Amino acid sequence: MCRSIATVSVSGTLAEKLAAISDAGFTGVEIFENDLLYFEGSPSDVRRMAADLGLAIVLYQPFRDFEGVSPERLARNLERVKRKFDVMHELGTERLLVCSSVSPDTIDDDALAIEQLGQFAQAAAQAGVVTCYEALAWGRHVRTYRHAWQLVNAVNHPNLTLALDSFHTLSLDDTPDAIATIPGERIGFVQIADAPKMNMDVLEWSRHYRCFPGQGDFALANFTAQVVKSGYTGPLSLEIFNDGFRGAPPAATAADGHRSLLLLEELTREALGSADQAAPLYHPSAPPAHAGWQFLEFAVDDAARQRVADWLEKLHFRRAGQHRSKDVTLYRHGSAAIVLNAEPDSFADAFFQRHGLSLCASALRVDDARLALERAAGFGYQPFSGRVGPNERVVPAVQAPDGSLNYFVNEQPGQPTLFEADFVLTDVDGPTEVGPIIGIDHVSLSLPAGSFDAWVLFLKAVFGLQASAAVLLPDPYGLVRSRALFSADRGLRMVLNASVDPHTATAETVRAYHGTGLNHVAFSTADIFRAVTEFEAAGVPLLRVPANYYDDLDARHALPAEFLDALRQHNLLYDRDEQGGEFLHAYTETLDQRFFLELVERRGGYDGYGAPNAAVRLAAQARQRSRPAGQDGIANNK
Amino acid sequence: MCRSIATVSVSGTLAEKLAAISDAGFTGVEIFENDLLYFEGSPSDVRRMAADLGLAIVLYQPFRDFEGVSPERLARNLERVKRKFDVMHELGTERLLVCSSVSPDTIDDDALAIEQLGQFAQAAAQAGVVTCYEALAWGRHVRTYRHAWQLVNAVNHPNLTLALDSFHTLSLDDTPDAIATIPGERIGFVQIADAPKMNMDVLEWSRHYRCFPGQGDFALANFTAQVVKSGYTGPLSLEIFNDGFRGAPPAATAADGHRSLLLLEELTREALGSADQAAPLYHPSAPPAHAGWQFLEFAVDDAARQRVADWLEKLHFRRAGQHRSKDVTLYRHGSAAIVLNAEPDSFADAFFQRHGLSLCASALRVDDARLALERAAGFGYQPFSGRVGPNERVVPAVQAPDGSLNYFVNEQPGQPTLFEADFVLTDVDGPTEVGPIIGIDHVSLSLPAGSFDAWVLFLKAVFGLQASAAVLLPDPYGLVRSRALFSADRGLRMVLNASVDPHTATAETVRAYHGTGLNHVAFSTADIFRAVTEFEAAGVPLLRVPANYYDDLDARHALPAEFLDALRQHNLLYDRDEQGGEFLHAYTETLDQRFFLELVERRGGYDGYGAPNAAVRLAAQARQRSRPAGQDGIANNK
């Protein structure tokens, strides 16, 4: 299966675009006319460049406003397309995309369109090219692939085929199911684009907000499955108009595009079920059925280690072990484990030098670590191996988009655990008292805006996570885009945050720490009132919540007075879902102006992250940043 | 007239918002409920803060989803609003905004709504507050001010009044003309917002894209004139939901908000015509009826002066004078004048230290310089005076948003001109040969994205310029937002450019030179073929245009072969408007990687700037940046 992408999908000059597309692993490319227009060389120069890079030029596009015109206009249009055929010969491409007419004076007469498209097909036959007719979602009269197929089928000429584009079908909430009934050899070209659901003019939506498969909200696996069922065997080609991609480095964009096609093929294969039809589709090993946090690893120096350790100890974490060969310490509380890495000249050290105190690695418990690594590498993510001491475990790892590591850990029955293998464990029997923390509920990352969608793709491709819809959170100094990803069994939950504006806490953190990454860790507890009481007694400073918040909470949810008082007393935030599930959570103040911890208690199947409370938290953090606590002259709630 | 703004319109904590709003000159403020919610203090703390700042809290908002409900729900809603009345008493505000219901289960029954709003009015009367009922453009049943007024009029209770918001009326293309027929005392509150015309969901449009009056596309002077005609004398209040404002410093945003209200009042006064009604509206002296470029002044050091002078001389500018007391040189060609300022320890020197070679001042010929300065200062722009030598002219000046100066120059009959007063003129009789440059056609600025709308307001307020709609231009590395402003007689034309993405030429220029400002100067000529021939002979490097551009131009416009050849030969770009007006233009390569010159010839009343050619120019400039000329192995067109 030829994997292709349109030049309009990545930034740069045409030469830069083609190089990035080739490097990413694509074997085909669509030449978008404007890119040729701006190119200081002939179409045959482009042909040579593409050939040198191993790229087939699978399509030239677009040709507009051909059908439904007066006889005079038809003659001009045929003249116009002949010049394009000449360009195509020079480019060495066979296929031309023609879009359904958008001109206001297009005549609404299918018979006329069929007659004129017939002449178009004959001209194409004379020139030895194949034309592909596409229904634009905002076409004047032809807007659906069914209508376009009626015309193409009626013309019944091998040089006029149907072109499909997932955006044009799915943006109209049209069903793609009839695609399977179209003979595959009559489909000349298939373009794939995803997009977030948006309530806006479809042309604007298409021109600015398309994204790679898996980054938006469209059901693309089903769309592509219908294409495969039709018998189509031509290129699958990404055509992505995206304002962000226009401003991003082309190599990273193209690499993500290629990954997104691989992931789409895998999901299409699942949607198809039948192995016969799915044969040419990418087929990696399945993502881990169960994944969870084994440990989080922070890059520290001696001073940062002291500060974090102090904080962890107040949260009743215990120092549980020392690495056998490295300056690495293990802390545990419940199933939550934190590793502090101060090993000189290591990966963590390099991370610390660049990013300061930061999350340099996450270790994920998976069913099969080797398969998980193989899968990640198959999607083009970079495997990583560090130094390993005698008898220590070799742990497979892959680099995340920010360069941090994701370790894959699976424990074998009867074998030493990773902690046993690599650490001299102290306090082996665990504390006699069980602390209030159960484990890690979720990890929240602060990202540069440009890497947000790359992370979505990484987490979907490597771990098979699902994504919630993105939400916008109001920080006092701008908006923050936020999206949660989670595994089917909720063993792994991550929240990605990126600032829309340059002055939010998220943006400042990202800038100050050179683009990475941890915003906060949320620990789960079964009794948050006990947890906050114990932690406050131990000197953990909790973020103060304004009294007005509780007045409003009462107006919204009509909570029992005693319960509301208890929330207020402990600076706890509260949310409730439509099924009555409840979320109680509290935040610590920030450490190193950078990250903070959250305690969460989920009740009755609550599955969110307390998004309605995010603005309250962001405003409280902004106050904390802008002045030391206690200097505002306003008393605490208590 | 009380000028007010809603807290949601500016960024920051509530304390920061109120301070910025007060500093900008507002006398009223609307407290948006969420801002109170996030505030760590009581409503009476807010009351004190506002009072200390001289701000009246003119409105508390919003109260939602009151009317058209079941009896049980009505009881709950009345209970809910009583708590809000309590908050209002603490805040010390009399007015509450209530929005037409958006809930899907709202009962569509005007009689029921009237009955329930009647109870609402009675509750308000008991509490001693006035409620203001507003039709949201996306209300469930009540969407227009006419419909809202029908209900309010039927209730006929002094504690229920009508609230107007220009966005809700103008976003629906509804006419505001009936507002004048509503008794002014029955209108309880008026909110003002502008917005660019956008084809999108009206709720999303309202929540993210509102802007200050004069920055968008709505006919606000007519709207406000209808309000004044009604006899309304309450606050005019800005309620601006704008993603950019959320991320911008509050002081600058609030200052522009206040200016925009002053400008709106002036335009409303014009729309009204009658002085009686217009009495309380802001009334500055009129903007200059005729304005044009007197000179452009560059901050230079010795080396930069040499480079610019060399370039100007190749363009047949002549060294026309030396300043009497400063290290400042004058160059002239036709009516175009360029001043190079290398005076140590001067304003220009400070500008050079910070921004390098840059446009530090523009001198505008106006009808009356003193009035022009007075007008600018009235809008809150900062007047500037520099050192003046003996017998030299004191030239009034005001600071533009980037800190550069705008001089106002008017020459008096029989008096020495500014150039004669301040310069020892050489070459007084001018050259015997007349050069191909006539004057300055337009000046184009590269701006940080955050200052774009501030510039629009500055140019409208100070010079009375009109603005074209904004367009998006594709640079190979991202999008550039562009908007032209011009005077009625086209004596002054400016083009503002700001990058949407961080890697475009515009963005890199803005970053490298700390946020200012000149992108290019376009000189006008009556014979562009002569001009480029002469300038090329003099060694001016012109930006090369790809051959493919001319093939496409031919396909689009079917130009005579000889004409097309001449364009190609001289790297000239071409555009044609619908009336047959033509635009021929050429660009030089860039100087100091920073700015460049354009030569333009307008034929047949062409009034644009060749926007369809911008992408070709940007791509050619990107090629020039990414590699030295001649290294691409592809021959020039010639």
- State the Cα–Cα distance between residues B242 and B254, nearest whole angstrom: 13
- State the Cα–Cα distance between residues A421 and A258, nearest whole angstrom: 38
Structure tokens at B432: 């015997």
A13 vs A509, more confident: A13
Question: Is B585 labelled as part of a ligand binding site?
Answer: no
Structure tokens at B137: 């453009």
How far does CA B16 lie from the centroid of its chain?
24
B101-111 average pLDDT score? 95
> Confidence band (pLDDT; 50, 70, 90) for A280?
confident
| pLDDT of the residue at A627 | 47
User: CB-based contact (8 Å) between A52 and chain B?
Assistant: no
A83 contacts B246? CB cut-off 8 A: no
- State the Cα–Cα distance between residues A61 and A452, nearest whole angstrom: 30
Residue A7 reports pLDDT greater than 70: yes
**Span B166-213, pLDDT tens digits:** 999 999 999 999 999 999 999 999 999 999 998 888 998 999 999 999
Nearest to B21 by CA among B44, B1, B2, B34: B2
Structure tokens at A397: 């790892």
| pLDDT of the residue at A518 | 65
| pLDDT of the residue at A358 | 87
Going by their DSSP bridges, the two strands A3-6 and A236-238 should be labelled as parallel
Residue A637 reports pLDDT greater than 50: no
Which own/partner pairs from A483-489 qualify as long-range (CB within 8 Å, at least 24 positions apart)?
A: A483/A452, A483/A456, A484/A442, A484/A608, A484/A609, A485/A456, A485/A459, A485/A460, A487/A288, A487/A290, A487/A291, A487/A463, A488/A289, A488/A464, A489/A290
- A 10 A CB-CB count for B431 gives 12
Query: Which of B204, B247, B548 lies closest to A37 in CB terms?
Result: B548
- A 10 A CB-CB count for B424 gives 11
Going by their DSSP bridges, the two strands A493-499 and B292-299 should be labelled as unpaired
For CA atoms B411, B413, B419, B420, the dihedral sign is: negative
How far does CA A269 lie from the centroid of its chain?
21
| pLDDT of the residue at A634 | 34
Residue B416 reports pLDDT greater than 90: no
Segment among A335-344, A543-552, B623-632 with least mean pLDDT: B623-632
- State the Cα–Cα distance between residues B547 and A563, nearest whole angstrom: 75
Specify the DSSP class assigned to residue B249.
Answer: -
Helix (H) or strand (E) holding B110: helix B110-127
Residue A432 reports pLDDT greater than 70: no
Nearest chain B residue (CA) to A622: B13
Going by their DSSP bridges, the two strands A471-475 and A478-486 should be labelled as antiparallel
- State the Cα–Cα distance between residues A185 and B49, nearest whole angstrom: 73
Domain with CATH 3.20.20.150 in chain B: 3-274
With 0-12 / 13-18 / 19 or more C-beta atoms within 10 angstroms meaning exposed / middle / buried, residue B622 is buried
Specify the DSSP class assigned to residue B68.
Answer: S
How far does CA A216 lie from the centroid of its chain?
8
Nearest chain B residue (CA) to A7: B476
| pLDDT of the residue at A428 | 59
B45 contacts A504? CB cut-off 8 A: no
A281-297 average pLDDT score? 93
Which residue spans within B272-394 are E strands per DSSP?
Answer: 292-299, 318-323, 328-333, 336-341, 358-365, 383-384
Query: Which of A200, A546, A547 lies closest to B201 in CB terms?
Result: A200
Nearest chain A residue (CA) to B78: A555
**Span B422-467, pLDDT tens digits:** 999 986 555 555 789 999 999 999 888 889 999 999 999 999 999 9
Angle between helices A547-557 and A561-569 (to 10 degrees): 150
In chain B, which residues have their Cβ closer than 8 Å to the Cβ of A634? 40-41, 45
| pLDDT of the residue at A392 | 78
**Span A118-130, pLDDT tens digits:** 999 999 999 999 9
In chain B, which residues have their Cβ closer than 8 Å to the Cβ of A616? 37-38
- State the Cα–Cα distance between residues B523 and B441, nearest whole angstrom: 5
Domain with CATH 3.10.180.10 in chain B: 292-425, 441-626
Residue B36 reports pLDDT greater than 70: yes
Question: Is B598 labelled as part of a ligand binding site?
Answer: yes
Domain with CATH 3.10.180.10 in chain A: 292-425, 438-626
Task: Choose the CATH number for A438-626 among 3.10.180.10, 3.40.50.720, 3.90.950.10, 3.40.30.10.
Answer: 3.10.180.10
In chain A, which residues have their Cβ closer than 8 Å to the Cβ of B478? 11, 243, 246-247
| pLDDT of the residue at A173 | 94
Angle at the Cα of A340 from the Cα atoms of A338 and A345, rounded to 5 degrees: 145
What is the three-state SS of A2-52?
CEEEEHHHCCCCHHHHHHHHHHCCCCEEEEEHHHHHCCCCCHHHHHHHHHH
In chain B, which residues have their Cβ closer than 8 Å to the Cβ of A62? none
A548 contacts B39? CB cut-off 8 A: yes
What is the three-state SS of A408-446?
EECCCCCCCCHHHHHEEECCCCCCCCCCCEEEEEEEEEE
| pLDDT of the residue at B358 | 87
Nearest to A362 by CA among A297, A411, A418: A297
Structure tokens at A508: 């400042």
Tally: H helices and E strands in chain B: 22, 26
- State the Cα–Cα distance between residues B78 and B122, nearest whole angstrom: 10
**Averaged confidence pLDDT in chain A:** 91
Residue B518 reports pLDDT greater than 70: no
A156 vs A636, more confident: A156
Structure tokens at A431: 């504390």
- State the Cα–Cα distance between residues B144 and B149, nearest whole angstrom: 9
* A3-278 CATH: 3.20.20.150
Nearest to A534 by CA among A614, A624, A617, A433: A433
Residue with tokens 């007519």: B222
- State the Cα–Cα distance between residues B597 and B618, nearest whole angstrom: 14
**Which residues in chain B (610-629) have CB-CB distances under 8 A to chain A?**
615-616, 619-620, 622-623, 626
Residue B142 CB-half CA count within 13 A? 32
**Span A584-608, pLDDT tens digits:** 999 998 877 778 899 999 999 999 9
DSSP bridge pairs for A164:
A190
What fold characterizes domain B441-626?
A: 2,3-Dihydroxybiphenyl 1,2-Dioxygenase; domain 1 (3.10.180)
Entry field: residues in chain B: 638
Helix intervals (H) in A41-144: 43-52, 71-91, 110-127
- State the Cα–Cα distance between residues A40 and A616, nearest whole angstrom: 54
Question: Is B520 labelled as part of a ligand binding site?
Answer: yes
B38 contacts A546? CB cut-off 8 A: yes
**Which residues in chain A (105-164) have CB-CB distances under 8 A to chain B?**
none
pTM, rounded to two decimals:
0.87
- State the Cα–Cα distance between residues A43 and A49, nearest whole angstrom: 10
How far does CA A415 lie from the centroid of its chain?
36
> Confidence band (pLDDT; 50, 70, 90) for B275?
low
- How big is the A-B interface in CB pairs under 8 Å? 163
With 0-12 / 13-18 / 19 or more C-beta atoms within 10 angstroms meaning exposed / middle / buried, residue A68 is buried
Residue A430 reports pLDDT greater than 80: no
- Is residue A161 within 8 A of residue A189, CB to CB? The reply is yes
**Span B543-559, pLDDT tens digits:** 999 999 998 888 788 89
A232-256 average pLDDT score? 93
Residue B266 reports pLDDT greater than 60: yes
Give backbone dihedrals phi and psi of A628, rounded to 5 degrees, phi first: -60, 150
Helix intervals (H) in B395-496: 418-422, 452-463
Segment among A210-219, B120-129, B159-168, B423-432 with least mean pLDDT: B423-432
- State the Cα–Cα distance between residues A357 and A308, nearest whole angstrom: 9
* Domain B3-274, CATH class in plain words: alpha beta
Going by their DSSP bridges, the two strands B56-63 and B28-32 should be labelled as parallel
Specify the DSSP class assigned to residue B308.
Answer: H
CATH superfamily placement of domain B292-425: 2,3-Dihydroxybiphenyl 1,2-Dioxygenase, domain 1 (3.10.180.10)
**Which residues in chain B (478-507) have CB-CB distances under 8 A to chain A?**
478-479, 499-504
User: CB-based contact (8 Å) between B439 and chain A?
Assistant: no
A371-399 average pLDDT score? 88
- A 10 A CB-CB count for A633 gives 7
Nearest chain B residue (CA) to A617: B38
Nearest chain B residue (CA) to A502: B247
Give backbone dihedrals phi and psi of A627, rounded to 5 degrees, phi first: -160, 150
Nearest to B317 by CA among B490, B443, B433: B433
Angle between helices A220-229 and A250-272 (to 10 degrees): 70
CA distance A97 to chain B (A): 17
Residue A415 reports pLDDT greater than 50: yes
Nearest to A540 by CA among A609, A588, A490: A588
**Which residues in chain A (517-546) have CB-CB distances under 8 A to chain B?**
544, 546
How far does CA B98 lie from the centroid of its chain?
32
Question: Is B345 labelled as part of a ligand binding site?
Answer: no
Which of A506, A548, A613, A623 is best to mutate for the B interface (most B CBs within 10 A)?
Answer: A548
Residue B411 reports pLDDT greater than 60: yes
- State the Cα–Cα distance between residues B339 and B331, nearest whole angstrom: 6
**Span B594-631, pLDDT tens digits:** 788 999 999 999 999 999 999 999 888 887 776 443 33
| pLDDT of the residue at A275 | 61
Residue B144 is which amino acid?
T
Query: Which of B36, B45, B246 lies closest to A474 in CB terms?
Result: B246
B520-549 average pLDDT score? 93
Interior/surface letters A503-524, b for 16+ CB within 10 angstroms, e for the rest: bbbbbbbbeebebbbbbbbbbb
In chain A, which residues have their Cβ closer than 8 Å to the Cβ of B64? none
Whole-angstrom Cα Rg for chain A: 28
B623 contacts A13? CB cut-off 8 A: yes
Residue B257 is which amino acid?
G
Structure tokens at A497: 């945050």
Question: Is B134 labelled as part of a ligand binding site?
Answer: yes
B370-385 average pLDDT score? 93
Nearest to B217 by CA among B464, B467, B461, B19: B467
In chain B, which residues have their Cβ closer than 8 Å to the Cβ of A89? none
With 0-12 / 13-18 / 19 or more C-beta atoms within 10 angstroms meaning exposed / middle / buried, residue B90 is middle
| pLDDT of the residue at A224 | 97
- Is residue A518 within 8 A of residue A443, CB to CB? The reply is yes
Give backbone dihedrals phi and psi of B128, rounded to 5 degrees, phi first: 75, 30
Residue A171 reports pLDDT greater than 60: yes
Residue A636 reports pLDDT greater than 50: no
**Span B285-340, pLDDT tens digits:** 999 988 999 999 999 999 999 999 998 999 999 999 999 999 999 999 988 999 99
| pLDDT of the residue at A258 | 98
> Confidence band (pLDDT; 50, 70, 90) for B478?
confident
Q: Give residues with Cβ within 8 angstroms of A150, minimum separation 6.
A: A110
